[in-house]
Amino acid sequence: MDIQTRKINFVQEFLRLRNIKLIEKLEKVLLEDKAKDYEANLKPMSIDNFNKMIDKSIDDAKQGNVVNARELKESVKKWK
């Protein structure tokens, strides 16, 4: 059975569930495995890249390419 068929079958079974505890367990497993997968694929940033990011941030601030916290909060409220 290919991956697409397995996912479709799983979703169909999931949609039939009525047991909230089982749904919560499946959600927990999914979130934990996604987090583990994400962490396993993290790679450390080089010092050179880190310093370049800092330099760019400083340049952006000097050029006024920034948003103050209040403006950002107001903007985020509109996302919902």
The whole-number pLDDT of residue 33 equals 96
**Integer-rounded Cα radius of gyration of the chain:** 22
30 and 54 in a single domain? The answer is no
27 and 55 in a single domain? The answer is no
- Provide the 8-state DSSP code for 41: T
State the total domains in the chain.
2
56 and 37 in a single domain? The answer is no
Domain that holds residue 23: 1-42
The whole-number pLDDT of residue 1 equals 84
38 and 51 in a single domain? The answer is no
- Tens of pLDDT, residue by residue over 23-68, are 999 999 999 999 999 999 999 999 999 999 999 999 999 999 999 9
37 and 66 in a single domain? The answer is no
pTM of the shown model: 0.51
